[in-house]
């Protein structure tokens, strides 16, 4: 039996940290070698972190990253390494470098460059044109990168027709809810179609708005799942592959090849002989896999935790600051922050106004107690009074309205930023996706801060996640009163969100259709929603683009977030009604 031991290093690189990422990579190569792996695969752009964005336009950055790549190549004694990095000739390429025994044996240049959603790969890279297969320890290995494997007629098939028995696909694939199953089905289809082992290595960790969820996969030539990596955690996933299974499967039923012409359009195949088969002898036992399947709420919650932790830590912050209003948004944000950073690193600030209910203050205190975090109370009345005095000549004769409401929200923003500047704590904002979509938030007020934890979480999901957190902990971490009370910004007497917005379940459904699915006004009405509500929602979304442009980043958890995913003009007179 010819067994190939494959290791997938599910690592968490930091963008730009060439030195630190290289050290991690070298450590993991050592670990894989000790485990007797024939090959260790690293995620897409593991060396640079992903996405490095316009760092790639700096020639010095590319130069430095090639230097660090050479350092890695030099440390590949007795093991093959597939490393995500960049390569440069006349152009720049998103690359999987293949090294063995201290030598660079090949570079694969990503062919399909995503340039949609959050991706801008055509901005930086040229597409590759070659589909090499590397014979490593007698096994034919096809290497490709991320998007490449999503094409049925793509490099995977070209490589398998050229003899590849194992596909190493390396990824920097950002998380959104529901993506995982889709991936597994696609990979199983590739494995079965090509009668090959297919492996999927993905990075973990947060980078600005993106979270990478790991969840590495290896499938056999029958599409059976052999192993699954943890989600959101660094892990070395190791598996033994019985390569004879490929040979048997292909003998039983040959691959249904595409026409040579069609395959030639994808890229040119080649075979690079790296090393003959040699008996590995007795190898160490495989490490136990830690993977347990996450339920869907668990998964979303984990994404928020990891995205928040990495943004805070990778930016060099220790502590965070959250304005606790006694509402459900700030409560959930605080719970995530405590899970991400530890209760000793989260400070809550309650900033009651003249319109705050007694309950709000009590609820904020109760939450802080439940979480064991410090709570400071700073009433904003004095500053509010000062502003009203100062602006009295200007405001005289006008009715109190949005100006006065926003002033209070902005005083809160100033207090938080004052503490942030004084003590070096990062402010976490607490707005949800439904608010950001409709502009139901105050620029420089509740939108003031460095990171927006639940920015991509619709209000209805805020409720669901809060219920999840309470069930998980077996106690009401988020006080039931917080969950039960009608949402309010408390910026004027008896204010309720529902005075200005449709009910949240309706709102979130309309928003999903309009923002995430690009449905038209007519289509949304067709879905059964009240035309007046649909008009109201579309107007609110269209008229608040300028606010979103000045919002802090936050964790992407849906197929389309408000960030690089959605690039709307501010000046925009398109109207459907």
Question: Of 88-127, which residues contact its own copies (CB under 8 A)?
Answer: 115-116, 120, 122-123
Token readout for 229 is 């990596």
DSSP state of 515: I
Token readout for 266 is 């994808």
- Please identify, among the stretches 12-20, 78-86, 228-236, 255-263, the one whose residues bind its own copies according to the rule CB under 8 A: 12-20
Tokens 């107690």 sit on residue: 369
- Please identify, among the stretches 159-167, 363-371, 441-449, 464-472, the one whose residues bind its own copies according to the rule CB under 8 A: 441-449
- Please identify, among the stretches 153-161, 366-374, 456-464, 562-570, the one whose residues bind its own copies according to the rule CB under 8 A: 562-570
Count of positions (residues) in the chain: 577
Task: Round to whole Å and give the CA distance between 315 and 327.
Answer: 28
- Please identify, among the stretches 33-41, 236-244, 530-538, 566-574, the one whose residues bind its own copies according to the rule CB under 8 A: 566-574
Residue 383 and residue 408 in contact, taking contact as beta carbons nearer than 8 Å: no
Buried b (16+ CB within 10 A) or exposed e, 121-139: beebbbbbeebbbbbbbbb
Q: Is 473 one of the binding residues for its own copies (CB under 8 A)?
A: no
Question: Of 37-56, which residues contact its own copies (CB under 8 A)?
Answer: 49, 51-55
- Cβ closest to its own copies, residue 376 vs residue 464: 376
Question: Of 367-406, which residues contact its own copies (CB under 8 A)?
Answer: 376, 378-380, 382-383, 385-387, 389-391, 394-395, 398, 401-403, 406
Of 507, 516, 395, residue with least CA distance to 460:
507
Question: Of 154-213, which residues contact its own copies (CB under 8 A)?
Answer: 206-208
CB of 380 to its own copies, least distance (A): 7
Q: Which of 131, 146, 160, 230 does the annotation list as catalytic? A: 146
Q: How far is CA 527 from the centre of its chain?
A: 30
Q: Is 450 one of the binding residues for its own copies (CB under 8 A)?
A: yes
- Cβ closest to its own copies, residue 208 vs residue 508: 208
Angle between helix 459-473 and helix 504-511 axes, rounded to 10 deg: 120
Q: Which of 110, 228, 433, 547 does the annotation list as catalytic? A: 110
- Please tell me the count of residues contacting its own copies according to CB under 8 A: 86
CB of 406 to its own copies, least distance (A): 5
CB of 177 to its own copies, least distance (A): 20
Residue 167 and residue 149 in contact, taking contact as beta carbons nearer than 8 Å: yes
Q: Is 321 one of the binding residues for its own copies (CB under 8 A)?
A: no
Task: Round to whole Å and give the CA distance between 383 and 399.
Answer: 20
Q: Around Cβ 98, how many Cβ atoms within 10 Å?
A: 27
Question: Is-catalytic flag, 146?
Answer: yes
Task: Round to whole Å and give the CA distance between 32 and 99.
Answer: 14
- Cβ closest to its own copies, residue 477 vs residue 513: 513
Q: Which residues pair with 322 in a beta bridge?
A: 348, 428
Residue 159 and residue 144 in contact, taking contact as beta carbons nearer than 8 Å: yes
- Cβ closest to its own copies, residue 295 vs residue 399: 399
Known catalytic residues are 44, 110, 146
């Amino acid at each position: 039996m010819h067994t190939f031991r494959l290791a997938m290093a599910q690592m968490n690189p930091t963008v730009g940290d060439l030195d630190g990422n290289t050290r991690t990579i070298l450590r993991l190569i050592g670990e894989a070698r000790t485990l007797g792996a024939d090959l260790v695969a690293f995620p897409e752009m593991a060396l640079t972190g992903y996405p490095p964005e316009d760092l790639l336009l700096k020639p010095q950055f590319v130069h430095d990253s090639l230097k660090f790549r050479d350092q890695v190549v030099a440390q590949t004694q007795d093991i093959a390494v597939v490393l995500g990095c960049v390569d440069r000739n006349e152009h720049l390429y998103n690359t999987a470098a293949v090294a063995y025994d201290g030598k660079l044996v090949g570079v694969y240049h990503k062919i399909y460059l995503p340039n949609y959603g959050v991706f801008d790969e055509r901005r930086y890279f040229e597409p590759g044109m070659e589909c090499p297969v590397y014979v490593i320890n007698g096994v034919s290995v096809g290497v490709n990168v991320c998007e490449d494997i999503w094409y049925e007629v793509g490099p995977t098939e070209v490589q398998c027709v050229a003899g590849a028995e194992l596909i190493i696909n390396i990824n920097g694939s950002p998380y959104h809810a529901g993506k995982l199953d889709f991936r597994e089905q696609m990979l199983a289809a590739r494995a079965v179609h090509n009668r090959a082992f297919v492996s999927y290595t993905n990075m973990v960790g947060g980078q600005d708005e993106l979270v990478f969820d790991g969840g590495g996969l290896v499938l056999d030539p029958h599409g059976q799942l052999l192993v699954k990596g943890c989600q959101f955690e660094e892990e070395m996933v190791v598996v033994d592959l019985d390569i004879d299974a490929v040979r048997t499967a292909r003998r039983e039923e040959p691959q249904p090849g595409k026409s040579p012409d069609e395959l030639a359009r994808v890229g040119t195949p080649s075979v690079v002989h790296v090393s003959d088969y040699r008996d590995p002898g007795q190898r160490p036992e495989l490490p136990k896999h830690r993977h347990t399947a996450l339920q869907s709420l668990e998964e979303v919650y984990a994404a928020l935790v990891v995205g928040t932790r990495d943004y805070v830590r990778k930016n060099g912050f220790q502590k965070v600051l959250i304005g606790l209003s006694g509402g459900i948004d700030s409560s959930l944000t605080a719970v995530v922050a405590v899970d991400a950073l530890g209760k000793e690193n989260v400070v809550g600030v309650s900033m009651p106004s003249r319109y705050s209910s007694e309950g709000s203050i009590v609820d904020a205190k109760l939450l802080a107690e439940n979480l064991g975090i410090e709570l400071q109370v700073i009433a904003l009345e004095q500053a509010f009074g000062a502003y009203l005095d100062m602006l009295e000549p200007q405001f005289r004769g006008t009715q109190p309205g949005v100006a006065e409401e926003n002033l209070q929200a902005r005083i809160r923003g100033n207090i938080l930023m004052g503490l942030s500047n004084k003590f070096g704590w990062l402010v976490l904002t607490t707005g949800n996706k439904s608010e950001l979509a409709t502009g139901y938030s105050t620029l420089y007020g509740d939108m003031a801060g460095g990171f927006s934890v639940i920015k991509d979480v619709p209000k209805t999901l805020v409720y669901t996640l809060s219920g999840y957190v309470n069930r998980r902990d077996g106690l009401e971490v988020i006080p039931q009163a917080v969950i039960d009370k009608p949402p309010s910004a408390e910026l004027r007497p008896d204010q309720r969100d529902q005075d200005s917005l449709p009910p949240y379940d309706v709102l979130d459904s309309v928003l999903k259709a309009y923002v995430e699915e690009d449905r038209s006004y007519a289509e949304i009405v067709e879905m059964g929603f009240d035309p007046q509500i649909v008009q109201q929602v579309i107007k609110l979304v269209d008229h608040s683009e300028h606010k979103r442009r000045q919002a802090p980043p936050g964790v992407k958890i849906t197929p389309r977030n408000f960030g690089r995913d959605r690039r709307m003009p501010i000046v925009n007179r398109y109207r459907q009604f």
